[in-house]
Structures are given as structure tokens and as C-alpha cells.
Amino acid sequence: MRSKGVRLYGAYDIRLEEFDLPEIRDDEILVRVMSDSICMSTYKLLVQGKAHKRCPQDVDTRPVIIGHEFAGDIVKVGKKWLGEFSPGEKFAQQPALNYKGSPASPGYSYPTFGGACTYCIVPPEAGELGCLLHYDGESYFEASLGEPMSCILGGYHGNYHTSRRSHEHIMGIKEGGRVLILGGCGPMGLEAIEYPLALEKKPSMIVVTDLSDERIARARQLIPESLAAAQGIRLVYINPGECSDEFTELMELTGGQGYDDIFVYTAIRSLAEMGDRLLGRDGCMNFFSGPMDKAFSASINLYNCHYASTHVIGTTGGTTEDLKEAFRLAAQGKIRPAVMVTHVGGLDSIAETTRNLPHIPGGKKLTYTQFNMPLTAIEDFREKGRTDPLYARLADCCGAHDGLWNSEAEKILLRHFHVI
């Protein structure tokens, strides 16, 4: 059948085009993609092309579909999966396959498996690994955002601490400890602030830094200090640009003890080195933000590593269990994936948005792949609604949900374009 989507041919070469999908084999599943949120990792793929670890070397002749944060409907099921999956049901997927040690992943590596398209084919390994999931949530966009959420949860679960009496590694952030999120008011950082509020073993303090007063203001509006205080957590937002001595002021918040868990959400050497200096005894720093430069490095204090048991890790992606946890917490209203979304667009907006992603302000760019629509900031809906009743309805709907994208707004859009 015919599909339409954005495919990568090499570095800086992505194209929106129609292409044929083969008839599915007995161990494959045909799906209709409904939503695909655009990740900075896809921009890195665009810049690096064949140099990217997940990109096949024959991409110039066998282009791959980009986009890995996607969800939709199952259309046709191969014989192997009959009884497990059914046409018409919603699906979500975990792109971190790690199949037999291969780095191959949807949105990076497959000619027929990715999110920036109308239809794609799920290969057998996704089903065998349990990475194709049944999804019974109300909205498609929350299923798409489950993937970045799982990365955030994976970061929290990946941190660890040690014991002076054994060699046991105690996984997760320290209960009652001090958390520092450096560069933390971007789209992923917002959920990194909100998620620990839902944990059973909560920290006592969360300090968040960002150089943008505008991003801090939005974070404070969505996740105010009072919300954290209701969970027994002290939440502090700081703009280091306004500090006379960033290190001293951040350290003083801990009473000079340092932080138990630090997350670096921006790939800047000085930020990573600042994080290392701020670690307390047995502190764990998670370098969460993936750099594009393979030679990226920073200095760490090995004296503290030896004598104070400080340690540095990095996490990328989440597990299927992280994804399921994200869906469960979202369904319970304990986390709000929508806080990450600031723009909405259609299939025809994906290529240009991906090319310019670092230069477009705001958070996540959410796209719907069954229709065309210019990428539009949610905050611009009201102005566009002066001349277009669709945007007026979307503005009203988002306004009723604290300015956030929501399932009702999604339905308005899908009905307008006759998708549902």
C-alpha cells in the first residue's frame, strides 16, 4: 500500500514523499500512525547522517522513516500475532529495542518502521521484545509522549547509591535526598520536575536551574513551589545568570552538604563540571542530555570519586516497564505529559520543523500525521482564531486546560480533518 512520510537519505537530507509499503509478512503488523512528537535526537540524526550510531550505511539508497515518539491504530495483523493484537485497537511503542545487541531503532534505522508517516510496518522483533504495547488511553498524543516520559523515568531509576557496609548498589534517587536539575526548564526538564512529586520515595528538595527567565516562569506556573510543598518537597527555581557566585549559592541551599542526585539536562561542559563539584557524599550525577560531538568530554574530580564515593552515569532511553509506568501515572493524573507540548502541526510541518528544531523556541513539537497543518504555537491559537474558527475552538479548549494541549483539543483537530 501507499504511505506518505518523511524519510532520511543522509546528513541534512530529509524528504516528505510518498512511497510503497510491501505486503506484511506473517510476523509483521501494519499500523496507521496518528501522532508523532519530534525529538531533538532526530535532529542529531539529521545532522550526523551515516555517522549516527543507529543510521544504516546504505541510507542513501534505502532511506529510513524518521520519528520514534509515535502512536496510532493497528490496521492489519500477521498470522503470528493473531490473538495478541487486533485491527482497530490503539498501540504505543517503545523504540529502544536493543534487539540482540543491535542499536537499530524505529525512526533511525528502518525503511518501513518510523513515526513521521501515515502508515508503517512493525517488524517481528518489536513484538517479540514486548515493545509494541496495547494502549487504552483516551488520547494518541499521550501515547506518543510516553516515550520521552520513559526516558525521564529511566533516568530516575538509573541513578544509584552505595552502602559503606556492603557492595550493594541501591537503585533510584535517594529517599529524602536533595535533587538538582541543571538546565531543567525545557520540555523534558518540566516532567523531570513533576515526576518525583509522584514517587513513593520522594526527595526532600528539588533545585532547578535555567538561564531563561521565560522558561522558569512557565515551569513555575505549571509546577509551582506550593504543589511540591504539598508533597513535603522544597522546590527552588534559580537563574544562574543572576547569581553572583553560582556554585556557592547552589551549595548553600544544601547547607554545604552537596546534592545526592544531579541531572544534567543540557550538554554543556561547564554545566557537567559544575554538577560534579556540587555532588555530596555518595552523590550520583546523571548526564542525561546526549551530545552530538562524539569527543565531548568534561573534567571530574577523581579525588571525590575515590574518597567520597561520587559517581557519574548516563542514561538514554527507557525500558518498556518505564513506559508502562508513565502511562499508569498519566492515567492517574499524577504526571501531565502535556506540559512538554508547546506546538502542534501536521505531517507537512515535520521536515521543516526537524531542520530548524534548535531554533524554534518552546517545548515539544507534537505532530499529527494524517493531515497537513502548519506548525503552530499553542499560545498563538487565540490570535489565529480571529480569522480561523478552528483555532478559536482550540484556543478555548486549551484555555480550559490551563493552556495545555489535551485530549479534547486532539479530538477537535481529528474531527475537523475527518480522521475520526
Query: Which residues, including other chains, have CB under 8 Å from residue 166's CB and lie 6 or more apart?
Result: none
How many residues would you count in the chain?
Answer: 420
**Is residue 314 packed enough to be buried (19+ CB in 10 Å), middle (13-18) or exposed (0-12)?**
middle
**Residues near 47 by Cβ (< 8 Å), separated by ≥ 6?**
11, 12, 292
pLDDT in 10s for each residue of the chain, 420 residues: 999 999 999 999 999 999 999 999 999 999 999 999 999 999 999 999 999 999 999 999 999 999 999 999 999 999 999 999 999 999 999 999 989 999 999 999 999 999 999 999 999 999 999 999 999 999 999 999 999 999 999 999 999 999 989 999 999 999 999 999 999 999 999 999 999 999 999 999 999 999 999 999 999 999 999 999 999 999 999 999 999 999 999 999 999 999 999 999 999 999 999 999 999 999 999 999 989 888 999 999 999 999 999 999 999 889 999 999 999 999 999 999 999 999 999 999 999 999 999 999 999 999 999 999 999 999 999 999 999 999 999 999 999 999 999 999 999 999 999 999
In this predicted structure, what is the pLDDT of residue 160? 98
Quick one: pLDDT at residue 317? 86
Give kind and range of the element (H or E) at residue 261.
strand 259-264
**What's residue 324's pLDDT?**
96
Closest CA to 147 of 324, 291, 289, 29: 324
What is the 3-state composition of the chain as percent helix, strand, coil, each rounded to the nearest 5? Answer: 35, 25, 40
Which cell numbers hold the place of 360? Answer: 524554534
pLDDT at 388: 98
Q: How many CB atoms lie within 10 A of CB 273?
A: 15
3-class SS of residue 332: coil
For residue 133, the SS3 value is strand
Domains of the chain: 2-136 (3.90.180.10), 150-313 (3.40.50.720), 347-416 (no CATH)
H helix count then E strand count, the chain: 14, 19
- 131, three cell numbers: 515493545
CA distances from 331 to 22, 189, 327, 399 (A): 36, 20, 6, 21
Q: Are strands 376-377 and 341-346 parallel, antiparallel or unpaired?
A: antiparallel
- pLDDT, residue 292, reads 87
Q: How far, rounded to the nearest angstrom, does the alpha carbon of residue 2 sit from its chain's CA centroid?
A: 29
For the residues of 264-283, what is the DSSP string, one character each? E-S--HHHHHHHHHTEEEEE
Which strand (E) or helix (H) includes residue 304? Answer: helix 302-307
Sign of the dihedral defined by the CA atoms of residues 382, 388, 392, 395, in that order: negative
Dist CA 251 CA 234 (whole Å):
15
Q: What is the pLDDT of residue 338?
A: 97
| Distance, C-alpha 201 to centroid of its chain | 23
- Return the residue matching grid coordinates 483539543: 409
Burial of 373 (0-12, 13-18, 19+ CB in 10 A): middle
CA separation for the pair 282, 160 (Å, rounded): 9
What does the alpha-carbon distance between residue 64 and residue 61 come to, in Å, rounded to a whole number? 10
Q: Which of 234, 238, 252, 304 is nearest to 273 (CA)?
A: 304
CA angle 137–120–27, rounded 5-degree value: 90
